[in-house]
Structure 1
Amino acid sequence: MGEILLPLLILCPLAASMIVSVSAGRMGACAIGTVACTGVGISAVISIILSITLLSGPPAGVLQVTLWPWMHIAGFSADIAFMLDRVSMVMILVVTIVGLLIHVYAAGYMRDDPGIARFFGCMTLFVAAMLVLVLASDLLCLFIGWEGVGLCSYLLIGFWYNDPANTAAARKAFYMTRMGDVALLCGLLLLATATGSLRIGAVLAAVTNGQLAPSGVNLAALFILVGALAKSAQIPFQTWLPDAMAGPTPTSALIHAATMVTAGIYLIARLHDLFAMATPIMALTAILGTLTLLMGACTALVQSDLKRILAWSTISQLGYMFLALGCGVWQAALFHLMTHAFFKALLFLTAGAVIMRTGHEQDIFRLGGLRHAMPGLSAAFAVGASALAGLPLVTAGFYSKEMILSGVWHVHFGLTREWTLSGHPLWGIALLGAFLTALYIFRCVFIVFCGKKQGTSATGRTSRLMSIPLGCLCFLSLCGGVIEMPDTLPPLHLFSTLLDPKTPLSHADEPIWLVLAGALAPLAGLGVAWVLWGRATPVMHEIPGQAAIIRLARTGWGMDALYDRVFVQPFRLLTWLTHHDVLAHAITATGRLTQAVSGRIFQARTGFLDILSIWGSRGTGWMAYLLGQLDNGRVRWYAAWIAGGLCAGLAMAVLS
């Protein structure tokens, strides 16, 4: 049965995408939403059935299906093949279940948009591409899904293409992620050359057996890391994700919060044996993740656009996942990936409902006091904010973030025999990031929902079609993390045991103060946020922007300006030169100049020869005249010339 259900899992959203796209203009909005939700819903049911089937088998059981051979050449082979194990099982459940909730929400959110068929065609195609990515057993097949989600992201960011800003944001995302895709392809080619295959099992076995030299392992891991950094919007590729909020809010929830941006985390977790052999790259991954989570939190703290706050928050939370991957606790990274999908989708969808009911107003300082007009949305946003901040014991975000912090505390990077890097400084920065996370998200909660009523007022009601997914995501954001608890609490390690039954992630010697620190940091952030923005007379309205560092943070730390000067402007200059055919004009002008100089040289040469011939003829005439004067027939003059010449010759002979 699994051999049939596994391809059907991908085929259902793909078929829904084709039906919706082909029948555009012939189906109503309700029918389009029904077809799209049905396709993703069937995939969600199949995912649950396949998960039950996999878990009921042996602990190391894997379901593999090869649809057809792709290429078989000397020394290399690749197939269109899919594999379901416990890692990919977690991913398909997240993609299909969260995707289904977002599709149901989008059916109500986009019902009045004239491009609803194009929207759902791209959304369901994205789900199919994401499923190909997470189920592929061959890295080349995975690359197809990798490029598919990038294409769908481009189409959905620029969905409202009448606005030039939206198309510019789509192009920016496309270019930035394509740079990472080139690096990823280089890494895959390097692995294919060294191992003769791109099947994930064969590649990992070759790396484990020492078939690749350490330098080759490090280089391949570095190329793959660059591809993952670009796809997951980490330093230095983070600038595209905030601009990607130009797309519809369901797009932001599905692609840029719950699934596509986590593709890089999944790829590194899938190849964790390869990265475990590349210690310098692991350390680099952890450091970049730490810097990204701190930078993203600081930037979100000074933003005023509601969706951009959530976008920078996504970048920061992805930094936590990269930190966990770099420290070797890939189970914690996947756990946080799952909980982050729950609460970040909830935050984006709630923000979309708020923006819709306030006349598409996104500036948090023009919103205020909305808890009276929107009590349900206020509660949903507060639940999502609490899970994002990781309020202890009552939210899923606390357990996943605590799992990351405990893993970071215990790690040590043996870079060389003499130099070992401890994870304690990284843990301290991650704890500071947890404080800042609670500070910026509850700043948003207090200003938008608990502050004084501003000029913008709420209208209408949130439809039931949009409310049901919000309720489900609230439940998952609160209770989705109790499957993995630290050892200082009632020890429960269902998630890590599910991923790796042989070696579940556990820290029995973890001190209790470590858990207390992880619990107090978000509570401290909540308290500071309440003092600054939550009281009836808030201490601070907007963070002052006079300081240069604040202005720099609001512009994304100047990375856009840097990229504009280093890459965009030179490229535009090259484009302008090509468009105006400056090179051809330069060649033509050079030819004309050469022709003119050649003509001048010819004229000068001709004049010089004319002058030379004239003076030569005149000199010849003068010589003839002089010889004529000497040849006068007087013998004594001839004798005198002979005597004079003889004397001169004798004098020269004597002197020499």
Structure 2
Amino acid sequence: MIQILVFLPLIAFLIAGIGNRMIGNVAAKSVTTGALFISCALSWVTFIGLINGAPAQDVLVAQWFTSGDLAVNWSLKVDILTGVMLVVITSVSALVHLYSWGYMAEDPDQPRFFAYLSLFTFAMLMLVTADNLVQMFFGWEGVGLASYLLIGFWYKKPSAWAAAIKAFVVNRVGDFGFMLGIFGLFMLFGTVDLDTILSAVPTAKGATFTFLGHSVDAITCLALLLFVGACGKSAQVPLHTWLPDAMEGPTPVSALIHAATMVTAGVFLVCRMSPLFDASVTASTVVTYVGALTAIFAATVATTQHDIKRVIAYSTCSQLGFMFFAAGTGAYGAAMFHLFTHAFFKALLFLCAGSVIHAMHHEQDMRYYGGLRKVIPWTFAAMVIGTIAITGVNYTSGYFSKDAVLFAAWERGTEASRVAFSVGIFASLLTSFYSWRLIFKTFFGKPRWSQSEHIQHAVHDAHGHDDHHDHVHADHGHDDHHHADQADGTAGYHPHESPWPMMVPLALLSFGALFAGAIFNDMFVGHHGFWNGSLVHDGEFYAALHHVPGLVHWSPTLAMLTGLTIAFLVYIRNPQAADAFKKQFRHLHAFLSNKWYFDEIYNWLFVKPALWLGNIFWKRGDQGLIDRFGPDGLSGLVGSGSGIAHRFQSGLVYSYALVMLAGVALFATWFMVR
């Protein structure tokens, strides 16, 4: 069963990718979507079986390769940690496949799109089922490739392929650290097998080796190298810059890759290697501080963004920070719990954003929304559910998982964990603020549609002024909108609800966003042996979370209500307050809206020097030296010589006689001198 659920997406990718337009849109979509729903069903069967006591197992697929002492098999590891990830990946992917039936309905390259989705899902499944680090790295690079293809799916759009390249390059930095970590683990333990390495960690405590000319603690160094890889894949500071730009891909891609699955690979890696991280106080402290910094950084930036997808993207970045500082404080179960619930409500928010963009004819700027709750009420209801979940309204999924993360940070009692708790509370307040800001600007107030160029083009096209309009626009392929009268002040445009393939996933994800936390709370962060040794889990520690001080217990709820209140006052009661704040604190606003100037710093520190150095090698080295004295110089010499020789080949007898006489004279002179 595990082999079927893992390899079905690969088979679907091959059928849709190779068949492409020969098999047609419907066949390609049916094959890939059907395969994913089968994999999803088998994943839930596997997960429920593991919950009910089914033993963990390794399923050998094939022997991969042997090189000296390095022997690597192709094997599928199935334990409860894998089961959680299987459910998350296949559930979200199956719903995204279904959602894409409506969202990509007019795109001419649907088979390619669905093939890429299935390829990504297969790579992610390979990553989480790997029983050794080399196989994990195969899946790790596979999701990197698939994300590159999906982010740059509209390759004719410059911003899309630029974002794809950026994601690919930034992730290569993290992957280099991951590779060094794998090399070091093999050097220290003599194997890349996960179970062997993790069981031998206690015996390696205190071991040292030389790294970059210094003697370092082996466990700490290797854990930090692995964490560099996790930072790249899970968009942690300072390797986070690719994630917001990745929103250039189609919205279903954002929901699949950058909300629920690929970006959680780093969290999964840290939890899978939890015995290694737990053995190093230094590494755990670094993970805690980096997670806390990312949580507050992304939350502050999200408060100033206007693109609806970028707000949710920075929200993803912030929530991943919560997961990492939970893991850094040793609460690996809480980190996985927040990963699990976050998959439902964040995928829901992204798909709701896609439904809004669909209704608004590709417009993504919230400044041109307003009043949409009356015309797309089902999307509005689903997005409110996602919002109350992410902000942690009592008894929703986010309430259970985020509180577990924060309480664990407090209960650990170290300096780093208490800093993470304080930062997490403030980030929770900001999360509530920017999430409700999105709701209020999008669904409340007066319609501001007439100010949008996208809407103006839509109305213009609807009145027959542009019969050759390209339906494949910047974000998706829809042009099936109804239009109202000009008198309503909305540019003659009337948004409408999305088709049923887009609404069904919203309903299912809404259920998960509301109830997944309550259903699985006792399992993920309970005192019993749910994890069954798949990660480091201290049942007594989690039992203590029920007895935190009263102020600590209520602080997440107070932060949530404070953020909601501020958003309500600023964007409903007094809409001019936001502009007044920008004018009064323009430097702070500029700092946040420019994302703490990370892109500008990287451009100055890395991009410009690289371009300068590249131009030197290109202009002076390649063209000025190698080409000049190499192929260009030799070809020029031959050309000049042939030009001179050509002058003597005139075809005139007296010219040839003159040359012969000159030759005889030179020969006679040489002979006489000698």
Shorter-chain TM-score bucket reads 0.7 to 0.9
2:143 matches 1:149:
yes
Distance of aligned partners of 1:100 and 1:473 in 2 relative to their CA distance in 1, 3 Å threshold: same
> What is the rounded CA distance, in whole Å, between the counterparts of 1:500 and 1:365 in structure 2?
49
1:212 Cα deviation after fit = 6.6
The reply to whether residue 480 of structure 1 matches residue 474 of structure 2 is no
**Of 497, 506, 515, which residue of structure 1 is paired with 2:543?**
506
Q: Which residue of 2 aligns with 1:180?
A: 174
Partner of 2:591: 552
1:530–1:97: structure 2 CA closer, same or farther, 3 Å change rule? same
Aligned residue in 1 for 2:404: 403
* Structure 2 partner of 1:244: 246
Q: By how many angstroms is 1:57 displaced? A: 3.3
Q: Tell me, yes or no, if the aligned pair for 2:333 and 2:524 is still in contact at 8 Å.
A: no
| Paired amino acid for 2:557 | A
CA, structure 1 residues 239+516, in 2 after alignment: closer, same or farther (shift >3 Å)? same
Give the 3 Å change call, closer, same or farther, for CA 203–392 of structure 1 in structure 2.
Answer: same
Distance 1:20 1:583 in 2: 43
Structure whose alpha-carbon radius of gyration is higher: 1
> What is the Cα deviation at residue 11 of structure 1?
1.0
Matches within 5 A, 1:209-288: 209-210=203-204, 213=207, 215-288=217-290
SS at match of 1:423: helix
Higher deviation after alignment, 164-173 or 547-556 = 547-556
Number of residue pairs the alignment of both structures matches: 573
Query: 5+ unaligned residues in a row in structure 1: which ranges?
Result: 414-420, 592-656
Q: 2:52 aligns with which of 44, 49, 56?
A: 56
Q: Residue 568 of structure 1 aligns with which residue?
A: 607
Report the equivalent of 1:138. Answer: 132
Partner residue in 1 for 2:305: 303
Contact 2:299–2:427 (CA<8 Å) still a contact in 1? yes
**C-alpha displacement at 1:64, in angstroms?**
0.8
Mapping 1:321-336, distance limit 5 Å: 321-336=323-338
Instruction: Provide Cα deviations, 1:174-194, integer angstroms capped at 9, x if missing partner.
Output: 000011001100000000011
1:534–1:192 Cα change, 3 Å: same
Shift of 1:208: 2.0
2:288 and 2:417 in contact (8 A); partners too: no
Whether contact under 8 Å (2:167, 2:243) holds in the other structure is yes
Q: Which residue of 1 aligns with 2:484?
A: none
- Paired residue secondary structure (1:565): helix
Check if 1:470 corresponds to 2:506. yes
Task: Quote the residue 2:20 is aligned against.
Answer: 24
- Are 2:449 and 1:455 equivalent residues in the alignment? yes
After superposition, what is the alpha-carbon deviation per residue over 1:114-172, rounded to whole angstroms, capped at 9, x for unaligned? 11111111100100000000000111100000000000000000000111111111000
CA distance, structure 1, for counterparts of residue 264 and residue 312 of structure 2: 15
Give the superposition deviation at 1:410. Answer: 1.3
Work out the CA distance in 2 between the residues paired with 1:455 and 1:466. Answer: 23
Helix, strand or coil: the match of 1:480?
A: helix
Residue 34 of structure 2 corresponds to residue 38 of structure 1: yes
The equivalent position to 1:579 in structure 2, one of 618, 622, 630, is 618
Distance (whole Å) between structure 1 residues aligned to residue 291 and residue 350 of structure 2: 23
Q: Alpha carbons of 1:307 and 1:8: their partners in 2 closer, same or farther (altered >3 Å)?
A: same
Residue 334 of structure 2 contacts residue 525 of structure 2 at CA under 8 Å; is this kept in 1?
no
Do the aligned partners of 1:64 and 1:82 also contact (CA within 8 Å) in 2?
yes
Secondary structure in 2 matching 1:65: strand
Which whole-Å CA distance do the structure 2 matches of 1:524 and 1:284 have between them?
A: 30
1:586 CA displacement: 4.8
Please identify, of 261-270 and 554-563, the stretch whose mean Cα deviation from structure 2 is larger.
554-563
d(CA) in 1 for partners of 2:236, 2:446 = 36
Letter in 2 for 1:72: T
Q: Is the 8 A contact 1:366 1:454 kept in 2?
A: yes
- Between stretches 212-221 and 498-507, larger displacement belongs to 498-507
SS in 1 for 2:582: coil
1:520 is aligned to 2:547: no
CA contact (8 A) 1:302 1:543 kept: no
User: Alignment partner of 1:482: what SS?
Assistant: helix
Q: How does 1:287-298 map to 2 (within 5 A)?
A: 287-298=289-300
Question: What residue number does 2:164 align with?
Answer: 170
CA–CA distance in structure 2, aligned partners of residues 48 and 363 of structure 1: 38
Secondary structure, in 3 states, of the residue corresponding to 1:49? helix
- Distance in 1, matches of 2:40 and 2:341, equals 18
Instruction: Report which stretch shifted further, 421-430 or 198-207.
Output: 421-430
Distance 2:368 2:581 in 1: 15
Please report how far the alpha carbon of residue 9 of structure 1 lies from its aligned counterpart in structure 2 after TM superposition: 1.4
Cα offset, 1:84, TM superposition? 0.5
Cα distance, 1:268 vs structure 2: 0.2
Determine if contact 1:531/1:538 at 8 Å carries over to the other structure.
no
Q: Which amino acid aligns with 2:228?
A: V
Closer, same or farther: CA 422–128 of 1 in aligned 2, 3 Å: closer
The aligned amino acid for 1:129 is A
Tell me the CA shift for residue 460 of structure 1. 3.7
Q: Partner residue of 1:359?
A: 361
The 1:437/1:571 distance shift into structure 2, 3 A limit, reads: same
- Which one scores higher on RCO, CA 8 angstroms, separation ≥ 6? 2
Cα 1:113–1:587 change in 2 (3 A) is: closer
What RMSD in Å do the two structures reach over aligned CA positions?
Answer: 2.2
SS in 2 for 1:498: coil
Percent identical among aligned pairs is 36
Contact 2:397 / 2:514 at 8 angstroms: preserved in 1?
Answer: yes
> Alignment partner of 1:483: what SS?
helix
Q: Which runs of 4+ in 1 moved over 4 A?
A: 491-497, 500-503, 586-591
CA shift for structure 1 position 509:
3.0
Q: Is the 8 A contact 1:483 1:495 kept in 2?
A: no
Q: Is 1:531 the equivalent of 2:569?
A: yes
Give the aligned residue type for 2:404. M
> 1:521: Cα distance to partner?
1.1
Which range is displaced more, 43-52 or 184-193?
A: 43-52
Shift of 1:573: 2.2
Query: 1:429 — aligned with what?
Result: 423
Q: Secondary structure at the match of 2:517?
A: coil
Q: Which range is displaced more, 327-336 or 514-523? A: 514-523
Give me the whole-angstrom Cα distance separating, in 2, the residues matched to 1:541 and 1:81.
Answer: 57
> 1:422 Cα deviation (Å)?
5.2
Counterpart code for 1:150: G
Residue 14 of structure 1 corresponds to which residue in structure 2?
Answer: 10
**Pair 590,105 (structure 1): closer, same or farther in 2 beyond 3 Å:** closer
CA deviations 1:606-629 (Å, max 9, x no partner) are xxxxxxxxxxxxxxxxxxxxxxxx
TM-score of the two chains, using structure 2 as the length reference? 0.82
- Structure 1 residue identity aligned to 2:559: A
Say which is worse superposed, 168-177 or 76-85, in terms of deviation. Answer: 76-85
Q: Distance in 2 between matches of 1:72 and 1:165?
A: 43
Moved more, 401-410 or 517-526: 517-526
Deviation of 1:75 (Å): 3.0
**Structure 2, unaligned runs of 5 or more:** 209-216, 451-492, 631-674
Evaluate the alpha carbon distance shift between residue 216 and residue 535 of structure 1 in structure 2; reply closer, same or farther with a 3 A threshold: same
Amino acid at match of 2:578: M
- Partners of 2:102 and 2:327 lie apart in 1 by 37
Give the structure 2 partner of residue 203 of structure 1.
Answer: 197
Cα distance in 2, alignment partners of residues 523 and 318 from structure 1 = 22
TM-score (norm 1): 0.84
Question: 8 Å contact 1:195–1:211 — kept in the other structure?
Answer: no
The structural deviation recorded for 1:62 is 1.1
Give the CA deviation at 1:286: 0.5
Residue 577 to residue 443, structure 1, CA distance change in 2 (3 Å): same
Matched residue, 2:649: none
